[in-house]
Chain A
């Protein structure tokens, strides 16, 4: 089973920009992995921000964007807000089976 790796923690200043990445032990992440990004705050269920690399749900703030960057999936937060402090997880598809990333704790400070 593949291992999906994310930065353990990142800090961003209010109004600043931060990019989270999601790498695969099997090689480059492509659109064929259908990358998802989820946000989870303490004590809450996760919510889906991004699907299929870069598509947003209706509730996804415009400041979040998804892409492929340097062989990894990436989630960029531009103009960070205090309410964006949370754990972020990516999810990759491997021919039907799925693997979550290790998660990134984002602090807005």
Chain B
């Protein structure tokens, strides 16, 4: 089945860390760029990060630069987002998207940053 499945969300205290994963299946993961996108409760979509198919090119939104790290393991068909120094404003549903012109989206994983 062609799909993306995120995991790793949860409740974390301000200043804490969390690692999100996105498992890809049903397509050639290594052929496509991938992105992380988030949506705060009741708000719009916010692009977070991009990684090229090989992992050699990476971009971040200014709001997460220096705190978040995107990576991928093409052998494991997996995308990751390491989130450090988390803030309350990072609270959101985090989606991975990709598979060729963002044709695939995961169901999202909720990250809540609160004391």
Chain A residues near B (Cβ < 8 Å): 1, 36, 38, 40, 45-48, 51-52, 55, 57, 87, 89, 91, 96-103
Contact = CB atoms under 8 A, between A and B. Distances in A.
Given A96-B57, A98-B35, A89 B102 contact: no
Q: Which 4 A-B pairs have the closest CB atoms?
A: A51-B101, A98-B47, A96-B59, A103-B44
B47 A100 contact: yes
14 contacts: A1-B62, A45-B95, A45-B106, A45-B107, A47-B105, A48-B105, A51-B102, A52-B101, A87-B44, A97-B50, A99-B47, A100-B44, A103-B44, A103-B45
Sorting the interface of chain B by its residue count into under 10, 10 to 19, 20 to 34 or 35 or more gives: 20 to 34
A57 B44 contact: no
B107 A48 contact: no
Nearest to A36: B102
B61 interface: yes
Nearest to A55: B101
Interface of B: 35, 37, 44-47, 50, 57, 59-62, 95, 97, 101-103, 105-108
A46 B38 CA distance: 11
Contacts of A47: 105
A46 B101 contact: no
Given A46-B45, A89-B45, A96-B59, 6 more contacts: A36-B102, A38-B102, A45-B107, A47-B105, A101-B44, A103-B44
B44 A97 contact: no
Contacts of A36: 101-102
Contact of A48 (B60, B102, B106): B102
A38 B104 CA distance: 12
Q: Give the residue among A45, A48, A55 with the most B Cβ atoms within 10 A.
A: A45
